[in-house]
Structure 1
Amino acid sequence: MPPPMSVPAWVWAAALAGLLALILLDLVVVDRKPHKITVREAAKWVVFYIGCAVAFGVGVWIFGGSDQAAAFATGYITEYSLSVDNLFIFMIIMANFAVPAIHQHRVLLIGIMMALVMRGVFIAVGAQAVQNFSWIFWIFGGILIYTAWKFATDKQESEEYDPNGGLVRLVRKLFPVTDDYHGSHLTIKRDGRRWATPMFIVIVAIGGADLVFAVDSIPAIFGITQDAFLVFAANAFALMGLRQLYFLLGGLVEKLVYLSHGLAVILGFIGAKLVLHALHENELPFINGGEHVTWVPEINNWVSLGVIVSVLAVTTLASLHKSRRDDREGSGTPAAEGGTPAVEAEPPAPEVAGNAPH
């Protein structure tokens, strides 16, 4: 892995200011008037955010060198591909709580901002850990290999996730919850008492999911680069483009039937890369007498970039081929018309019975 860049404080400040400007732009342009996001609008924003990431990568190449640019590109593509699988869980949450289409974008925006804060904390802690404790690479590698096994055996979080999990049940015990949505309000005051709305429950569920996602994504990105600046930037750009990707892909995400297998290969590869790096940086007394294992190979980021892009390309092409074949044979799920997200159908009302006022 290339050594971390020396990033001055003003560059961090400029990057954070740019990120804040993008969030404000989104709030002013998109969320100024809540509305149903169309496929065309979502596509424009996806292209815009990918363009921002590419421009940032070019800047890293100019000022940090090709190795750092490759590290950013590899991390960004990895985080973005993991985010596509996370869309399944967002769809489950939106459908379970019957979130109105005009408010889905705002829910995702709040969720993304929570994820940025959480991952910022995780990245700060992780950066200090990898700089001071070489054994942390063994833990990160183990997490990724275990996660890869879950993806490969179809036991990933997208199938196991319960939107009415412990955190949501705890909130319902602490606060009464209304039966109906009240616009985008998280709480309302009724009969002299503060009530939570289903929107508040949705935000809690999204936040809990964000926390689960970080457990996989943060070790993955540190397996590519130890540079905290690049780690944060890759996560930020991937997350900022996630909302529009949600509306662009919609039900089409379900056609990526081999995505979990592709992600299993990617996470397994990065996990193995971390194990090799852990051996190279070894200080554990029961391995090689506490000495570095210098003869093990280190996988550079250009090789990592090639492997990840190739796996994603093969996975996508194989998934689309199977989807078309299933449609021809009449055994597959019909393609979503117009790219409309599956969650925009009217699902059952949220289960908040027992909390409504009489």
Structure 2
Amino acid sequence: MTVEPWVWTATIIFIVALLAYDFIFHVRKAHIPTLKEASLWSALYVGIAVLFGVGVWYFGGHQMGGEYFAGYITEKALSVDNLFVFLVIMASFKVPREDQQKVLLFGITFALITRTGFIFLGAAILESFAWAFYLFGLILILTAGHMLKKDDHSDDADNLIIRLAKRFLPTTDHYDGDKLFTMENGKRVLTPMLLVMVAIGGTDILFAFDSIPAIFGLTQNVFIVFTATAFSLLGLRQLYFLLDGLLDRLIYLSYGLAAILAFIGVKLVLHALHENTVPFINNGEHVDVIEISTGTSLSVIVGILIVTILASLFSKAGKAQTAVNNARRHAVNYLDATYTSDQAERERLYSLLVAEEREILTMPTKYRNKVKDIDAIRAKVDEAHAVHREMSGTA
């Protein structure tokens, strides 16, 4: 189905308007979103994406609608996995809680711009070179294997670009609100806020290398690829605060995503064989192989995610890991004087820490002792208790 230019224009204007609204009414004034605010806006953005998909299904037919929903669900799942890395980066740079929204919105906007470029580049490559389907399929299969091998998400946010910036440009280790530049000793210097945005932007580019081939494995309709990607990114800021504390619970998410990427990779290879023009494969003629339908793809993707999420939520090891890691994070944030200037937020962190400790004590020892660096985490929690007693004047 050919999408009219006015539909493209209206869709882009709508997406830009959502980003602008998000910035003007939510992000421009630094604050910590409440659970209610994050929940309502997350639900709203998912609702917008679903309604858009219903419109695509109605006007474009079930094939186009199925491709949109398969692409949206896949991209949304990958974006949730990306939140782990965002969490690590912002913890590494000690971004104040009030200013994390601005960093996330920048990351989303940057990702939308860069992925749009990758989408049109990918479409041009696939249109001109049929063998590129083999390449995209291989990328996804290799990425799936890599996801199975990694134990956890890297915490090395201080990448090459950041090290070069710190070495050759005047920088400071102190934040000045959400400013990108500040004055220090009479000189204009970069703040960590600019550096963390560079780190987020750099990781977004890396994410695109598995995200874009994955959705092209489900559809080659550029409009569907663009809109499914865009709507999966919108609302990611709110989802970050909604899922904060629950991300560690999804201990099997990487396995589920690896299975999805491997499945789409195989689907791409099968499609490449069906459309084959490579001379050394079947003498350049197409190979008579089964092709996986959009309905089958959607069913497999949804099925894998459901199994992955349920397995994570009901896993005793997952519950223990979540509670211990949350206790560690809340203890570290409570002890960090720069994490937030909001005293109510600090008290909330301590209350969560106490509640998590109670929950941990009800769990079997064999599960909680399996958590990495458990002794160091216990020491950090004890330190948080000592500081709280000192601040409250209790013995």
Note whether the superposition's TM-score is higher than 0.5.
yes
What is the rounded CA distance, in whole Å, between the counterparts of 2:187 and 2:217 in structure 1?
49
What is the rounded CA distance, in whole Å, between the counterparts of 1:182 and 1:333 in structure 2?
33
Structure 1 counterpart of 2:60: 64
- Report the number of matched residues: 338
Letter in 2 for 1:108: L
Structure 1 counterpart of 2:283: 289
Q: Give 1:191 deviation, angstroms.
A: 5.0
Q: Give the alignment of 1:168-247 within 5 angstroms.
A: 168-190=162-184, 193-247=187-241
Structure 2 counterpart of 1:114: 110
Q: Does structure 2 conserve the Cα–Cα contact (< 8 Å) formed by 1:180 and 1:197?
A: yes
Structure 1 counterpart of 2:300: 307
Q: Does structure 2 conserve the Cα–Cα contact (< 8 Å) formed by 1:96 and 1:347?
A: no
Which runs of structure 1 show a deviation greater than 3 angstroms over 4 or more consecutive aligned residues?
189-193, 335-338, 340-350
Q: Does structure 2 conserve the Cα–Cα contact (< 8 Å) formed by 1:101 and 1:344?
A: no
1:334 aligns with 2:323: yes
Matched residue SS, 2:189: strand
Letter in 1 for 2:81: D
> Among the aligned pairs, what percent are the same residue?
50
The CA deviation string for residues 63-118 of structure 1, in whole angstroms up to 9 with x for no partner, is: 11111000000000000001111111001111011111111011100111111111
Q: Does structure 1 conserve the Cα–Cα contact (< 8 Å) formed by 2:141 and 2:261?
A: yes
Q: Does structure 2 conserve the Cα–Cα contact (< 8 Å) formed by 1:94 and 1:343?
A: no
**CA RMSD of superposed structures (Å):** 2.2
- Over 3 Å counting, the alpha-carbon distance change for 1:41 and 1:343 in structure 2 is farther
- Over 3 Å counting, the alpha-carbon distance change for 1:34 and 1:109 in structure 2 is same
Q: Does structure 2 conserve the Cα–Cα contact (< 8 Å) formed by 1:95 and 1:347?
A: no
Letter in 2 for 1:301: T
What is the rounded CA distance, in whole Å, between the counterparts of 1:244 and 1:335 in structure 2?
24
Question: Any gaps of 5 or more consecutive residues in structure 2?
Answer: 340-395
What is the rounded CA distance, in whole Å, between the counterparts of 2:184 and 2:286 in structure 1?
65
Which TM-score applies when normalising by structure 2? 0.81
Letter in 1 for 2:250: L
- Over 3 Å counting, the alpha-carbon distance change for 1:123 and 1:347 in structure 2 is farther
Give the alignment partner of residue 263 of structure 2, picking from 269, 272, 278.
Answer: 269
1:105 aligns with 2:78: no
What is the rounded CA distance, in whole Å, between the counterparts of 1:133 and 1:101 in structure 2?
47
Structure 1 counterpart of 2:90: 94
* Structure 1 range deviating more: 108-117 or 22-31: 22-31
Q: Would you tell me which structure has more helix in proportion to its own residues? A: 2
- Over 3 Å counting, the alpha-carbon distance change for 1:40 and 1:341 in structure 2 is farther
* Structure 1 range deviating more: 93-102 or 24-33: 24-33
What is the rounded CA distance, in whole Å, between the counterparts of 2:171 and 2:211 in structure 1?
33
- Over 3 Å counting, the alpha-carbon distance change for 1:94 and 1:345 in structure 2 is farther
Structure 1 counterpart of 2:133: 137
Bigger-Rg structure (1/2): 2
The CA deviation string for residues 239-290 of structure 1, in whole angstroms up to 9 with x for no partner, is: 1121111100112110111111101110000000000001011100000100
Of structures 1 and 2, the one scoring higher in RCO (CA 8 A, sep 6+) is 1
Matched residue SS, 2:176: coil
Structure 2 counterpart of 1:356: none
Letter in 1 for 2:165: V
What is the rounded CA distance, in whole Å, between the counterparts of 1:26 and 1:335 in structure 2?
33
Which TM-score applies when normalising by structure 1? 0.89
Q: Give 1:179 deviation, angstroms.
A: 2.2
Letter in 1 for 2:113: V
Matched residue SS, 2:315: helix
Q: Does structure 1 conserve the Cα–Cα contact (< 8 Å) formed by 2:85 and 2:154?
A: no
- Over 3 Å counting, the alpha-carbon distance change for 1:179 and 1:332 in structure 2 is closer
Structure 2 counterpart of 1:353: none
